[in-house]
Structure 1
Amino acid sequence: MKNLFIKYKSVIKFIGTFLLVYATLSFIYKLYLDFSDGSTYYPDYFTNLVSKQTNAFLHTLGYDSQIVNHPDEPSMKLIINGQFVLRLIEGCNSISVVILFGSFVTAFADRFKPTFLYVLAGSVLIYIVNLVRLVILSLGLYHYPSRQEVMHSVIFPLIIYGMVFLLWIFWIKRLSNLNRTNA
């Protein structure tokens, strides 16, 4: 058994680091959600921010849109030209995706500064892509409501998770190239 641990030390370290970072960040985020009372920013700061930015982006594109608090659940309703199009829930704010991304990159890290900068830059990129995704999804649901299932369940998750996957691949290749040049 000891030989297996020695042989797969790097794999065990990666899995352990990933799980530890993911669990810690998820726990902190859950605490944040639990203590976010929604009185200042409904339903929470990040979901409110993404909702307002989606609305502003739609206005920039020339659409008459508005965001209103959902009366029955902790979410924001997006309305375009008087038509309810979608609701933005906590899962739409990309924070959970950023936690997943950052946990993986940290587990593959070798030095603090480049890892921190990559997680920061990747998180901003994920946030921006998520915002664009929400705008396109809103417009898609407004113009093609019959395509809701395929847009919401297939195409748009593919965009955000595809972006995360590409960022992971870039990080792994960059790290392996650094290790080759330093060897």
Structure 2
Amino acid sequence: MTSTQLAGEKKEDKRKLYFFIGGVFIFSIFSFWLTSQDSFIKVVQPLLNLYTYLSSKILNIFGYATSARAEYLSGPAFSLEVKKGCDAIAPMILLVLSILFFPAPFKSKPKAILYGIGLLFLLNLVRIISLYLVKLYVPSIFDFMHTDLWQIVFIVFTLYLWLRWLRKESNPAHAQN
């Protein structure tokens, strides 16, 4: 390979990197702007209701007398409101954009996106259920769990999902299939 070809490949790699970073950045800003609009609650409300419904059903399996009414998960002692922002949409958007804009063949992207969204959905159910239990048993750490710990968990898990997909994409055996 000549130095001119090598320089051309480096330039192409740089262009792909800029496209990836720029695309994810621009569409993330647009997506977060869109989700911050008051009208977006109409779109996300059914998802919030589903989270509370499923959380209540799971808690009831374990003997907790809970009920779900719209975005409220209620028990004998208190109600927990699952609001916009507690829906895991932000990490889902970030994962989808990171996969879509990464310069890799499109073939594996839909499966990775569906898999990632499903896992983030399940993680959010775990989050809601755990926050209900924390508020019930150790209310003094609820704010920390809600605003600090779970935010970090979602960031790390989203990054993990993307890196796992990226590693699979860069595997030569996978590329041949």
TM-score, normalised to structure 2's length?
0.78
The reply to whether residue 154 of structure 1 matches residue 148 of structure 2 is yes
For 1:78, the equivalent position in structure 2 comes to: 73
Indicate the SS of the match to 1:92: coil
1:116-152: per-residue Cα shift (whole Å, max 9, x none)? 1101111101101111121111111111111112211
The percent of aligned pairs where both chains have the same amino acid is 23
Task: Specify every segment of 5 or more residues in structure 2 that has no aligned partner in the other structure, as ranges.
Answer: 1-7
For residues 60 and 102 of structure 1, do their structure 2 counterparts lie closer, same or farther at Cα, with a shift above 3 Å needed?
Answer: same
- Tell me the secondary structure at the aligned position of residue 116 of structure 1: helix
Matching residue of 1:73: none
Map of 2:39 onto structure 1: 34
Question: Could you tell me which amino acid in structure 2 is paired with residue 101 of structure 1?
Answer: L
CA RMSD in angstroms comes to: 2.9
| Amino acid of the structure 2 residue aligned with 1:79 | S
Aligned residue pair count? 167
Evaluate the alpha carbon distance shift between residue 30 and residue 163 of structure 1 in structure 2; reply closer, same or farther with a 3 A threshold. Answer: same
SS at match of 2:86: helix
2:123 aligned to which of 123, 129, 145: 129
Paired letter, 2:169: L
Deviation, structure 1 residue 172: 2.0
CA distance in 2, matches of 1:119, 1:162: 17
For residue 72 of structure 2, give the secondary structure of its aligned residue in structure 1: strand
Give the counterpart of 1:16 among 15, 22, 26: 22
